[in-house]
């Protein structure tokens, strides 16, 4: 018996869960788990089901499409490792956490490569037997630099996600459009309050009492794409800005890995500029 994930995004109407469940029954599929959500303000229905059995994926998808409106989006996927590429600059905390989790078998992914505009993290990545590709931005415009990165990424087949593990360059609309809803980013949650090279020092001077991190999909609004995961930790007056920075890095790496795991397990629906997560 094989497992399948059925993802449905449709206009809401009465009896949808019953209709979909009946199709599962007709195809002799067993429901292992099921989650639904209705956005009543926008009349939108979201459903994620995990089923097992023997079935033709296209036939199952077609049967579900026949009971839904044309505006519906249906995906039927067989769980398998997704292909990801990591992009980094010089900071290693988020990258190192993902590499260790991957080595430990915690992430259902194939890390195809790590791409950076600097050579600094190459020795770390190579210890895990993963290709490290340096594409320098020196003497190149942002567009020229990104063209080289896009060309490199497209040299791989079926890249599912690009993970910005503290990649500290702003992406152009061209890059974002090339990988729409496939780029996952992490940043500290001081934005927009403390912007600049050392937000933790600014936050320390202001006397903040919480530190947080946000992981989101990248769009053309800087750091304002659909949010996947967030977390905060409490601090107090005894923390130096360096203590805050260390604590912040801990939160960043945990939140990024959590967001990546959700994506790898097909638990995220992107709708307008927000997400529905099961």
For 137-166, how does the pLDDT look when each residue is reduced to its tens digit (9 = 90+)?
999 999 999 999 999 999 999 999 999 999
Query: Is the bond into 192 cis (omega within 30 degrees of 0)?
Result: yes
SS3 69: coil
Q: Same domain for 94 and 28?
A: no
pTM of the model: 0.94
Cα–Cα distance measured from residue 10 to residue 16, given in angstroms and rounded to the nearest whole number: 10
pLDDT of residue 196: 72
Range of the domain at 221: 83-277
Q: Same domain for 42 and 163?
A: no
CATH of the domain at 173: 3.40.50.170
Average model confidence (pLDDT) across the chain: 95
Flag whether pLDDT at 45 surpasses 90: yes
Which pLDDT band, with edges at 50, 70 and 90, does 120 fall under? very high
Backbone angles phi, psi at 23, to 5 degrees: -65, -40
Q: Same domain for 126 and 12?
A: no
pLDDT of residue 117: 97
Number of folded domains that form the chain: 2
Catalytic amino acids?
Answer: 223
pLDDT-above-90 percentage for the chain: 92
For 199-229, how does the pLDDT look when each residue is reduced to its tens digit (9 = 90+)?
899 999 999 999 999 999 999 887 789 999 9
pLDDT of residue 220: 86
Q: Do the beta carbons of residue 29 and residue 76 sit within 8 Å?
A: no
pLDDT of residue 222: 74
Q: Same domain for 199 and 128?
A: yes
Where a domain ends, among 16, 47, 77? 77
CATH of the domain at 71: 3.30.70.260
For 243-258, how does the pLDDT look when each residue is reduced to its tens digit (9 = 90+)?
999 999 999 999 999 9
Please count the CA atoms within 13 angstroms of the CA of 218 that sit on its side-chain side: 25
């Amino acid at each position: 018996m094989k497992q399948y994930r059925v993802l449905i995004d449709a206009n809401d109407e009465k009896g949808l869960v019953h209709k979909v469940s009946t199709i599962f029954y007709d195809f002799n599929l067993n429901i292992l788990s099921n989650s639904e959500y209705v956005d009543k303000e926008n009349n939108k229905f979201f459903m994620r089901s995990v089923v097992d059995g023997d079935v033709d994926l296209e036939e199952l998808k077609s049967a579900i499409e026949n009971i839904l409106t044309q505006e519906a989006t249906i995906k039927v996927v067989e769980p398998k490792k997704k292909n990801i590429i990591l992009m980094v600059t010089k900071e290693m905390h988020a990258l190192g956490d993902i590499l260790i989790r991957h080595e430990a078998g915690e992430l259902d992914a194939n890390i195809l490569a790590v791409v950076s505009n600097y050579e600094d993290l190459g020795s770390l990545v190579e210890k895990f037997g993963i290709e490290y590709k340096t594409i320098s931005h020196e003497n190149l415009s942002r567009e020229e630099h990104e063209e080289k990165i896009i060309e490199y990424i497209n040299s791989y087949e079926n890249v599912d996600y690009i993970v910005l593990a503290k990649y500290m360059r702003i992406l152009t609309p061209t890059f974002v459009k090339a990988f729409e809803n496939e780029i996952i980013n992490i940043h500290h949650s001081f934005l927009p309050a403390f912007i600049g090279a050392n937000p933790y020092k600014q936050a320390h001077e202001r006397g903040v009492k919480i530190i947080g991190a946000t992981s989101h999909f990248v769009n053309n609004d800087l750091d304002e794409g659909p949010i996947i995961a967030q977390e905060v930790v409490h601090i107090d007056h005894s923390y130096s800005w360096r203590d805050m920075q260390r604590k912040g890095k801990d939160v960043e790496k945990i939140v990024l890995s959590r967001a990546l795991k959700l994506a790898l397990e097909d638990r995220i629906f992107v709708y307008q500029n927000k997400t529905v997560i099961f």
